[in-house]
């Protein structure tokens, strides 16, 4: 990063320029900030290209296409003006160092880091190709290493620039060490060319050299087109995936999704994927980073900004920029502003509570009642307005799900429905639910796993997935029978029931049980179903209508629910801190992330709020749509919630609190 030079513009569109980030084939790259301080990388076209009408046409088309590319693995386009005197393109700003710099300063990366890098770049290339683009310049300097995961940059301009250059001068644009054979030959290139470049980039990350040797560019280009790569020094686990990427014929290379499957699952979570020396480099403040002043734009600038400008704006990506900027630590670029203290919630009622939270085996709430079970597994219903007991009923119950005036209870020996208002037992299934499997309820339908029939194996259990009417308990459908010795997770939502069994993902119509579609899923578990998506634990989103993959972000999800127009994803295991992310359901882009919870608690999520007990001892509520902190109080463990009313266990009391006053 370098200071601005004499003659550099002060503003580009609505962005004030702060520093020079570098230069490329199309022009100059600047660091800019929006009016609210959000940093962006702004690529300003070279004057020689700006006066080329053919370039402007291509540039405009590329902006339109690349604006459809979003996700956590790319630096997405957030704004552009192809009709400006000097056309420009603004993308998310990523502070991390590029892969080339890291390998030069630190050395080759360990196998685990290269494995994680490979996963991230396959997902990035998948997003680029799904958007109708071919990157055509995948190289180490276009791969940035953020502390959370890698990001691919410059995917939105390469075709426009290269197309103009080739047409006008016949020169092939690219970086020789990372070009594909067909690119060197001057042939038309497609997505497979990017896969070849990816193989070279991953080999470089693991070894610090090219698989075709460190020789003069002209010799290197001949070797790429004629010779087989030298893969000595490559970790065994990476040898086959990288070798197939470097196949000479494009049709012999895998697509990014296939390559991701070849790489196998990641070990651990994305956090901490970088070795310590690289993580320190990624987290260190950049040399030359300016201290920015919180200056509102002048009326003159604001007026100029509103005229003669056609903008391509990716709304979701812009939101991501603001949210991720804080996670990157780029708030250091703005003058420090003291955050206002969040308000404390209003206590609606409090009653004595002598038991430990863990002794109460289940909690649930609806608009009128807080439901709980105790050590004897009987059910108690407390009035949501006063905390007074409304009714109690015999169990056993380990799971409580209120739905449409009926409280569904499940345990190893019982699946029943109670009148939520009176506690009267309405129905009892009369069959034994599988003790280590889940029950889910949606749209008046209970989906459960039950044991029926005699086992054919001494270690097995004969089980069926069934659909029941929530109001009456009547059986609506019965799925195929399995011999099973473990737990089976079923989810209901968006008009479907979904589960993974015997290596297949099965998606059924919720009320009839007819199979909508099924697909191989050898290691997956279903975590959620929404109106549009079925979500697997890897976190992969499939279209609920067809099973087609919409996006994949690669980190493991504990649970996912749809609320507030976003997907709320909880990550973490028992005994560990957990975080909740708000994801854009269209792309999987992380819009916001909560701080980590205490290790002994789990978040409670509703349509309106996420409630969490944090490591610092506070209990907080966050808006599901925006991630904005709504209120905070000292102490307390969230145990249940409905809407904006949360129930906390704190200091021998049970409290009902709300931020609405």
pLDDT tens for each residue of 54-103 = 778 878 877 777 777 777 788 878 888 988 888 998 888 888 889 999 99
Does domain 96-285 bear CATH number 1.10.510.10? yes
pLDDT at residue 169 is higher than 50: no
pLDDT at residue 158 is higher than 80: no
Confidence of residue 342 (pLDDT cuts 50, 70, 90): confident
Residues of the chain with CATH 2.40.10.480: 339-387+557-661
- Residue 579: Cβ within 10 Å count: 17
**CA dist list (Å): 488 to 76, 320, 447, 461, 598:** 38, 35, 12, 12, 28
- Residue 17: Cβ within 10 Å count: 18
- Dist. CA 551–CA 69, nearest whole Å: 11
Which of the residue ranges 73-77, 436-440, 651-655 would you say has the lowest mean pLDDT? 436-440
Mean pLDDT, rounded, for 540-561? 82
Asked if 429 and 415 touch (Cβ cutoff 8 Å), the reply is yes
Asked if 508 and 497 touch (Cβ cutoff 8 Å), the reply is yes
Residues written for the chain: 661
Confidence of residue 255 (pLDDT cuts 50, 70, 90): very high
**Per-residue pLDDT, 51:** 78
- Dist. CA 622–CA 604, nearest whole Å: 11
Question: How many helices, marked H, and strands, marked E, lie in the chain?
Answer: 13, 41
Asked if 140 and 99 touch (Cβ cutoff 8 Å), the reply is yes
Please give the torsion angle defined by the CA atoms of residues 381, 384, 389 and 393, in that order, rounded to the nearest 10 degrees: -10
pLDDT at residue 568 is higher than 90: no
For 600-625, give the secondary structure using H, E and C. Answer: CCCCEECCCEEEEEECCCEEEEEECC
**Per-residue pLDDT, 308:** 30
Asked if 617 and 635 touch (Cβ cutoff 8 Å), the reply is yes
CB-side exposure of 293: number of CA atoms within 13 Å? Answer: 3
**Per-residue pLDDT, 631:** 94
Burial class (CB in 10 A: 0-12, 13-18, 19+), 158: buried
Annotated binding site for ATP: 43
- Dist. CA 228–CA 247, nearest whole Å: 8
pLDDT at residue 293 is higher than 70: no
Which of the residue ranges 347-361, 390-404, 524-538, 589-603 would you say has the lowest mean pLDDT? 347-361
- Residue 255: Cβ within 10 Å count: 15
**Per-residue pLDDT, 457:** 56
- Dist. CA 499–CA 369, nearest whole Å: 30
**Per-residue pLDDT, 421:** 95
**Per-residue pLDDT, 647:** 96
197: its two tokens: 């470049």
Classify domain 429-552 at the CATH topology level.
Methylamine Dehydrogenase; Chain H (2.130.10)
Which of the residue ranges 56-70, 159-173, 359-373, 402-416 would you say has the lowest mean pLDDT? 159-173
Which of the residue ranges 95-109, 262-276, 317-331 would you say has the lowest mean pLDDT? 317-331
- Dist. CA 106–CA 276, nearest whole Å: 10
pLDDT at residue 323 is higher than 50: no
Can you point out the beta strands (E) in 299-359?
346-352
Higher pLDDT, 373 or 445: 445
**CA dist list (Å): 144 to 117, 139, 153, 500, 590:** 10, 10, 7, 36, 18
pLDDT at residue 278 is higher than 90: no
**Per-residue pLDDT, 508:** 96
Cis peptide before 232 (omega within 30 of 0): no
- Dist. CA 91–CA 106, nearest whole Å: 28
* Token pair 């060319």: residue: 193
- Dist. CA 490–CA 441, nearest whole Å: 10
Q: Which residues, 6 or more positions from 54, have their beta carbon under 8 angstroms from its beta carbon?
A: 164, 167
Asked if 649 and 382 touch (Cβ cutoff 8 Å), the reply is no
Q: Which residues, 6 or more positions from 214, have their beta carbon under 8 angstroms from its beta carbon?
A: none
Higher pLDDT, 640 or 160: 640
Which of the residue ranges 35-44, 63-72, 140-149, 163-172 would you say has the lowest mean pLDDT? 163-172
Please give the torsion angle defined by the CA atoms of residues 97, 538, 154 and 204, in that order, rounded to the nearest 10 degrees: 60
**CA dist list (Å): 267 to 94, 111, 239, 541:** 25, 12, 18, 20
Confidence of residue 329 (pLDDT cuts 50, 70, 90): very low
Which of the residue ranges 34-48, 218-232, 271-285, 297-311 would you say has the lowest mean pLDDT? 297-311
- Dist. CA 135–CA 139, nearest whole Å: 10
CATH number for the 1-90+293-337 domain, one of 3.10.180.10, 2.60.120.10, 3.30.70.890, 3.30.200.20?
A: 3.30.200.20
pLDDT at residue 261 is higher than 90: no
Residues of the chain with CATH 1.10.510.10: 96-285
**Per-residue pLDDT, 640:** 95
**Per-residue pLDDT, 464:** 85
Backbone angle region of 329, left / alpha / beta, with phi > 0 → left and psi within -120 to 50 → alpha: left
Domain 339-387+557-661: top CATH class: mainly beta
Residues of the chain with CATH 3.30.200.20: 1-90+293-337
**Per-residue pLDDT, 140:** 94
- Helix (H) / strand (E) containing 220: helix 217-226
Confidence of residue 300 (pLDDT cuts 50, 70, 90): very low
pLDDT at residue 326 is higher than 80: no
- Dist. CA 136–CA 130, nearest whole Å: 15
- Dist. CA 248–CA 221, nearest whole Å: 13
**Per-residue pLDDT, 204:** 95
Mean pLDDT, rounded, for 484-513? 85
Q: Which residues pair with 634 in a beta bridge?
A: 618
- Dist. CA 488–CA 458, nearest whole Å: 19
Confidence of residue 321 (pLDDT cuts 50, 70, 90): very low
- Dist. CA 316–CA 318, nearest whole Å: 5
Annotated binding site: 43
Confidence of residue 638 (pLDDT cuts 50, 70, 90): very high
The active-site residue, picked from 137, 154, 162, 194, is 137
Burial class (CB in 10 A: 0-12, 13-18, 19+), 303: exposed
Higher pLDDT, 200 or 585: 200
- Dist. CA 375–CA 415, nearest whole Å: 18
pLDDT at residue 334 is higher than 50: no
Confidence of residue 301 (pLDDT cuts 50, 70, 90): very low
Higher pLDDT, 63 or 297: 63
Asked if 111 and 235 touch (Cβ cutoff 8 Å), the reply is yes
pLDDT at residue 132 is higher than 80: no
- Dist. CA 483–CA 491, nearest whole Å: 20
Answer yes or no: pTM beyond 0.85: no
Quick check: helix, strand or coil at residue 23?
Answer: strand
Q: What is the mean pLDDT of the chain?
A: 79
pLDDT at residue 490 is higher than 70: yes
Residues of the chain with CATH 2.130.10.10: 429-552
Higher pLDDT, 80 or 205: 205
pLDDT at residue 448 is higher than 70: yes
Q: Is 148 a catalytic residue?
A: no
- Residue 344: Cβ within 10 Å count: 12
**Per-residue pLDDT, 117:** 93
């Amino acid at each position: 990063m370098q200071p601005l030079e004499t003659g550099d513009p002060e503003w580009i569109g609505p962005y004030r320029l702060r520093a020079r980030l570098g230069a490329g084939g199309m022009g100059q790259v600047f660091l800019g900030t929006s009016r609210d301080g959000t940093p962006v990388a702004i690529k300003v076209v070279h004057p020689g290209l700006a006066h080329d009408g053919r370039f402007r046409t291509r540039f405009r088309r590329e902006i339109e296409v690349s604006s459809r590319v979003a996700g956590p693995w790319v630096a997405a386009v957030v704004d552009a003006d192809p009709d400006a005197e000097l056309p420009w393109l603004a993308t998310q700003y990523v502070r991390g160092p590029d892969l080339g710099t890291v390998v030069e300063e630190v050395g080759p990366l360990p196998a685990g880091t290269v494995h994680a890098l490979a996963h991230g770049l396959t997902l990035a290339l998948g997003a680029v190709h799904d958007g109708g683009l071919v990157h055509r310049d995948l190289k180490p300097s276009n791969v940035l290493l953020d502390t959370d995961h890698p990001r691919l940059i410059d995917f939105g301009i390469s075709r426009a620039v290269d197309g103009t250059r080739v047409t006008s001068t016949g020169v092939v644009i690219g970086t020789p060490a990372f070009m594909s054979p067909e690119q060197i030959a001057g042939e038309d290139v497609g997505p497979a060319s990017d896969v070849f470049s990816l193989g070279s980039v991953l080999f470089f990350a693991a070894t610090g050299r090219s698989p075709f040797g460190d020789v003069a560019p002209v010799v290197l280009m001949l070797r790429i087109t004629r010779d087989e790569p030298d893969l000595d020094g490559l970790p065994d686990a990476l040898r086959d995936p990288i070798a197939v990427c470097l196949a000479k014929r494009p049709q012999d290379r895998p697509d990014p999704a296939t390559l991701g499957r070849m790489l196998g699952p990641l070990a651990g979570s994305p956090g901490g994927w970088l070795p310590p020396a690289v993580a320190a480099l990624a987290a260190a403040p950049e040399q030359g980073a300016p201290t920015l002043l919180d200056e509102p734009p002048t009326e003159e600038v604001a007026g100029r900004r509103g005229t003669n400008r056609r903008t391509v704006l990716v709304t979701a990506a812009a939101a991501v920029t603001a949210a991720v900027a804080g996670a990157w630590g780029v708030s250091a670029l703005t003058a420090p502003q003291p955050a206002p203290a969040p308000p404390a919630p209003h206590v609606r009622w409090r009653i004595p509570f002598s038991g430990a939270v863990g002794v109460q085996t289940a909690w649930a709430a609806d608009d009128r009642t807080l439901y709980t079970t105790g050590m004897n597994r009987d059910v108690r219903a407390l009035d949501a307005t006063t905390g007074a007991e409304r009714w109690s009923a015999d169990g056993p119950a380990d799971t409580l799900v209120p739905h449409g005036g009926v409280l569904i209870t499940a345990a190893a020996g019982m699946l029943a429905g109670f009148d939520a208002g009176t506690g009267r037992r309405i129905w009892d299934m009369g069959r034994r639910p599988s003790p280590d499997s889940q029950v889910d309820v949606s749209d008046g339908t209970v989906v459960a796993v039950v044991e029926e029939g005699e086992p054919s194996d001494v270690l097995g259990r004969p089980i069926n997935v069934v659909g029941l009417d929530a109001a009456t308990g009547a059986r609506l459908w019965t799925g195929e029978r399995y011999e099973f010795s473990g737990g089976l997770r079923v989810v209901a939502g968006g008009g479907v029931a979904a589960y993974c069994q015997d290596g297949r993902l099965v998606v059924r119509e919720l009320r009839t049980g007819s199979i909508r579609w099924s697909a191989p899923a050898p290691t997956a578990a279903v975590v959620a179903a929404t109106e549009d998506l079925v979500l697997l634990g890897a976190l992969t989103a499939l279209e609920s209508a067809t099973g087609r993959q919409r996006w994949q972000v690669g980190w493991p999800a504990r649970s996912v629910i749809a609320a507030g127009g976003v997907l709320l994803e909880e990550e973490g295991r028992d005994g560990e801190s957990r975080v909740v992310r708000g994801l854009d359901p269209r792309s999987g882009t992380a819009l916001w992330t909560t701080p980590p919870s205490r290790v002994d608690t789990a978040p409670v999520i509703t349509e309106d709020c996420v409630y969490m007990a944090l490591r610092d001892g506070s209990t907080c509520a966050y808006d599901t749509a925006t991630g904005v902190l709504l209120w905070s109080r000292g102490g307390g463990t969230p145990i249940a919630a409905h809407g904006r009313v949360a129930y906390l266990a704190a200091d021998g009391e049970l409290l009902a609190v709300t931020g609405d006053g």
